[in-house]
Amino acid sequence: MYRMEIETINTLVSGEMYYADLRTKLLLNQNKPAIININIGTTFKGAIDDIDSIVQALEYCGYSNDKYYIHCDAALYGLIVSFIKHKPIGSISVSGHKFLGCPIPFGIQMTRKSNVNSLSNIEYIASADMTISGSRNGLAPIFLWYSLSMKGYVGLWQDSKMCIENSQYLKDQLLKEGISVMLNEFSTTVVFERPCDHKFISHWKLCYLSGIAHIVVMSGITREIIDSFLKDLMQERKK
């Protein structure tokens, strides 16, 4: 959208950023400032990038504070991993329809006040325009407010804890059955060997990428659902 040059950084098998590759690409572009997009939960493997390692790479490559900007894409885990205190990030975005389960797709972007102040004040709405298109959905913030108010801090913490415990349970059960499985730290995305049967994949609406599939354990994924899935999976594997 901004017609900017882009460098794609390689990742480790876990899905996390490969910091050595970040260094290489930073060194290749040393004459330009960098906008770094960090993932707090990659789409397929639920990997979480380490902000400290990224800042270290920037410092190592000679990037001073005013030469970089960090945005955290926390679409999925923004409400699970709330750890970004005192980190030199510029902004973070979180989806409202993922972990919170709001009924329409939307996201919230939070940034430093210093960035917002530079936006123009629009006289006829008596407010600063913070949108790309100049237009906004008024209902989405109400869903977000309602959802956060109903759950509260404790409710969100309980949901996060339950999702993390249930994903660990799913991982352990898969391992017990001798199925290869991966679960990143603080993640609720369980990655495992892709089942062979297409009917099974379609029945459970499994997402897959060549040989691997994943289950994102959200608060609606109860132990009962996990057990029922496991039972079905074992039957499919026997076949």
Ligand X SMILES: Cc1ncc(COP(=O)(O)O)c(C=O)c1O
Q: Which of 39, 167, 184, 187 binds ligand X (CB under 6 A)?
A: 39
Q: Which CB, 109 or 222, lies closer to ligand X?
A: 109
**CA separation (Å) from 52 to 55, 57, 61, 202?**
5, 9, 14, 40
Calculate the dihedral angle through the C-alpha atoms of 96, 98, 101, 105, rounding to the nearest 10 degrees: 50
How far apart (Å, rounded) are the C-alpha atoms in residues 41 and 81? 9
Which listed range, 23-31, 72-80, 143-151, 158-166, lies at the site for ligand X (CB under 6 A)?
A: 72-80
CB of 106 to ligand X, least distance (A): 7
Measured at the CA of 35, the angle between CA 104 and CA 105, to 5 degrees, comes to: 5
Binding of residue 75 to ligand X (CB under 6 A):
yes
Binding of residue 107 to ligand X (CB under 6 A):
yes
Is 183 in contact with 168 (CB distance < 8 Å)? yes
CB of 107 to ligand X, least distance (A): 4
- On the 0-12 / 13-18 / 19+ scale of CB atoms within 10 A, 204 is middle
Binding of residue 184 to ligand X (CB under 6 A):
no
CB of 137 to ligand X, least distance (A): 13
Binding of residue 38 to ligand X (CB under 6 A):
no
Binding of residue 43 to ligand X (CB under 6 A):
yes
Binding of residue 48 to ligand X (CB under 6 A):
no
Q: Looking at this protein, which amino acid is placed at residue 183?
A: L
List residues near ligand X by CB under 6 A: 39, 41-43, 73, 75-76, 95, 105, 107
